[in-house]
């Protein structure tokens, strides 16, 4: 959790609202996932139930570790790492949102089982650069990953649909994070500042967060966390209602 000295220094920052998501992760955490095998069950339902929940739990694990890494980055003044963690979390939220949109289309019979199965396969094992491993590559057709921006754009549509008030579009929160993560104007300003009158550039030996840094990063992380759990829970509920569930072990 956030250090007490930081809390006291910036009492207006939403540290408590951020930290509540630790409980959300703990409540949904499972240590193992096992397939349920039965000759009497529908094969497609078994398949989508296991693979759908597997994708969700993999996404939850990535999201949870990014959350922990973000807190650690705040506590240790690792500003670039904090920006990277927030951006990566948005991408996980985008991925689960993309799955939810297509899962709804499947249950509305707009797309076939083969379509949702193929999409889930791409979301789960798609890549642009496959590592060399001790496997028979000829026996598997490895899919290309679905473009991250495509997922973010779809998440933006879903975010707008679900929002009951006029809020900033999801993609508008994501885009500035990308700028801070790139070695360009915003990315190069982290940990340094310029004295405009004298033209002097100062590089901080040990960069520290200012209040606006905490506000920016934490507000954006809260947006992503809140949306992540909404779409995660809806995906989970849809699969639980319609498919054969695998064995979930706490």
Task: Report the phi/psi class of residue 203: left, alpha or beta, with left for phi > 0 and alpha for psi in -120 to 50.
Answer: beta
Task: Give me the pLDDT at residue 40, please.
Answer: 58
| Mean pLDDT for the stretch of residues 126-133 | 66
* Closest by CA position to 218, among listed 85, 26, 23: 85
pLDDT at 137 over 60: no
Task: Give me the pLDDT at residue 167, please.
Answer: 67
For 213-245, letters b (16+ CB in 10 Å) and e give: bbebbbbbbebbbebbbbbbebbbebbeeebbb
Residue, of 143 and 139, whose pLDDT is higher: 143
* The two structure tokens encoding residue 48: 């989508």
Task: Give me the pLDDT at residue 203, please.
Answer: 83
CA atoms within 13 A of residue 36's CA, in its CB half-sphere: 18
Task: Report the phi/psi class of residue 199: left, alpha or beta, with left for phi > 0 and alpha for psi in -120 to 50.
Answer: left
Please write the tens of the pLDDT for every residue from 57-89.
999 999 999 999 999 999 988 888 999 999 999
Task: Give me the pLDDT at residue 134, please.
Answer: 47
Residues in the chain: 250
Which residues partner with 203 through β-bridges?
192
| Mean pLDDT for the stretch of residues 99-126 | 92
pLDDT at 138 over 60: no
Q: What is the CA radius of gyration of the chain?
A: 21
Please write the tens of the pLDDT for every residue from 82-97.
999 999 999 999 999 9
Give the model's confidence band at 142: pLDDT under 50 very low, under 70 low, under 90 confident, else very high: confident
Task: Give me the pLDDT at residue 130, please.
Answer: 61
Give the model's confidence band at 52: pLDDT under 50 very low, under 70 low, under 90 confident, else very high: very high
Task: Report the phi/psi class of residue 239: left, alpha or beta, with left for phi > 0 and alpha for psi in -120 to 50.
Answer: alpha
Instruction: Report the SS3 class of residue 201.
Output: strand
Residue with tokens 């670039």: 80
pLDDT at 111 over 90: yes
**Are 103 and 116 a contacting pair, CB within 8 Å?**
yes
- What is the C-alpha separation between 214 and 241, in angstroms, rounded? 40
Of the listed ranges 148-152, 185-189, 222-226, the one predicted with least confidence: 185-189
């Amino acid at each position: 959790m956030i250090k007490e000295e930081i809390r006291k220094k910036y009492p207006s920052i939403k540290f408590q609202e951020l930290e509540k998501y630790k409980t959300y992760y703990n409540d949904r955490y499972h240590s193992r996932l096992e397939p349920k095998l039965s000759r009497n069950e529908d094969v497609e339902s078994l398949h989508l139930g296991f693979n759908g929940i597997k994708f969700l739990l993999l996404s939850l694990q990535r999201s949870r570790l990014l959350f922990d890494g973000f807190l650690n980055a705040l506590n240790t003044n690792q500003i670039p790492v904090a920006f990277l963690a927030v951006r990566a979390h948005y991408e996980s939220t985008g991925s689960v949102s993309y799955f939810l949109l297509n899962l709804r289309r499947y249950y509305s019979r707009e797309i076939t089982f083969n379509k949702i199965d193929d999409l889930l396969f791409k979301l789960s094992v798609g890549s642009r650069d496959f590592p060399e491993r001790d496997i028979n590559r000829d026996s598997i057709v490895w899919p290309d990953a679905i473009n991250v921006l495509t997922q973010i754009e779809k998440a933006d549509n879903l975010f707008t649909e679900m929002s009951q008030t006029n809020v900033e579009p999801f993609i508008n929160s994501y885009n500035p994070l990308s700028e801070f993560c790139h070695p360009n104007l915003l990315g190069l300003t982290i940990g340094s500042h310029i004295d405009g009158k004298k033209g002097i550039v100062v590089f901080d030996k040990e960069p520290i967060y200012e209040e606006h840094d905490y506000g920016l990063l934490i507000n954006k992380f809260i947006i992503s966390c809140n949306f992540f759990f909404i779409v995660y829970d809806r995906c989970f509920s849809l699969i639980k209602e319609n498919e054969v569930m695998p064995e979930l072990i706490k």
